[in-house]
Amino acid sequence: EDQVTQSPEALRLQEGESSSLNCSYTVSGLRGLFWYRQDPGKGPEFLFTLYSAGEEKEKERLKATLTKKESFLHITAPKPEDSATYLCAAYYGQNFVFGPGTRLSVLP
């Protein structure tokens, strides 16, 4: 069964404590893997698109990587303003599926 899952469901970090969020996918014919950020009460905001295994992209304190089975969103020295829910999504065939998200809290 095609699936996109994310772990952990929630993560609390101290400011400056680096960590990684995981997105695992079991789909055929991946056309793209995406990361979005969503703040409470708002729509998701686009972060990255990854197209093939081995690809990496960076933006400020965030770095996204992709393997054949999963993607990681690495957060280096996070700040409280990085607190949000991070969503991954997979585009495969004619399907577009979001994972359930990881709720990140960064404490000062």
73 near another protein, rule: CB under 8 A: no
CA–CA distance, 103 with 24 (Å, rounded to integer): 16
The contact mask relative to another protein for 11-30 (x = CB under 8 A, - = no) is --------------------
Question: In angstroms, rounded to a whole number, what is the distance separating the alpha carbons of residues 54 and 12?
Answer: 28
Identify which of 68, 64, 7 has the alpha carbon closest to the alpha carbon of residue 36: 64
Choose, by CB under 8 A, the member of 25, 34, 35, 86 that binds another protein.
34
Of 40, 43, 54, 108, which one interacts with another protein (CB under 8 A)? 43
